[in-house]
Amino acid sequence: MAAIRSFELARSLETAGCQTRIVATTPALYFLDPAAVAAFRARGPGMLSVDADEWPGAGYTRGDPVGHIELRRWAEVLVVAPLDANTLAKFALGLADNYLTCLFRAWDFAKPVVLAPAMNTLMWQSPATLRHLRILLEDHAGSPPPAGWLLEEAPSVFAHHAPRIVLVPPRSRRLACGDIGQGAMAQVEAITAAVAAWASHEPRDD
């Protein structure tokens, strides 16, 4: 449900001097205002891409551009906000079944990735979430991470052992479902600050 803040985040990043393009999964479109989607797409080709845009032609012709590869070449930072439980699992397992997961799978991890999880509290606290974060860390760690690290340690562990994957943890509040607890996407300002830190070549480690 944090997807409704996608355009707010894009505006914040643009105010900070970034150029932005949005990739929206099919489930995310359910939460986005169709008028806002149309307005953002009207800004130009590729400004907002959905799964159907990956292969827009009637059929493939050799030499046709591959959307997620072209976007990977263009982008300097990949921001996944919100990162839901399902997409986190796909990232960890290497699944590539939509535009976003193909982009992540094909990403050049010499360039940073900013992940801002958002999900129900019990989904965030699920053992599967920690397991998937540990897999991501192991795949991208530049130095051996400590054994048995806990969920609340994830941002600092990533910062020290896989600094190009920046984890901006969810915050505690009343969630859209009515539950109260940790799981709401971080404030837009915090995500923008994480991106700006990389833009100024000053990775955050807090």
Largest CA distance in the chain: 51
Catalytic position from the list 68, 102, 132, 161: 68
- In this structure, are strands 78-83 and 113-117 parallel, antiparallel, or unpaired? parallel
| CB-based burial label for 127 (10 Å; 0-12, 13-18, 19+) | exposed
- Report the Cα–Cα distance between both ends of the chain, in Å, rounded: 27
132: annotated active-site residue? no
68: annotated active-site residue? yes
- Taking a C-beta distance cutoff of 8 angstroms, is the pair 90, 97 a contact? yes
Catalytic position from the list 18, 160, 161, 177: 177
- Taking a C-beta distance cutoff of 8 angstroms, is the pair 162, 138 a contact? no
DSSP 8-state assignment for residue 43: T
Measured CA to CA in angstroms, residue 25 lies from 83, 102, 108, 197 at distances of 11, 11, 21, 27
- Report the catalytic residues: 68, 177
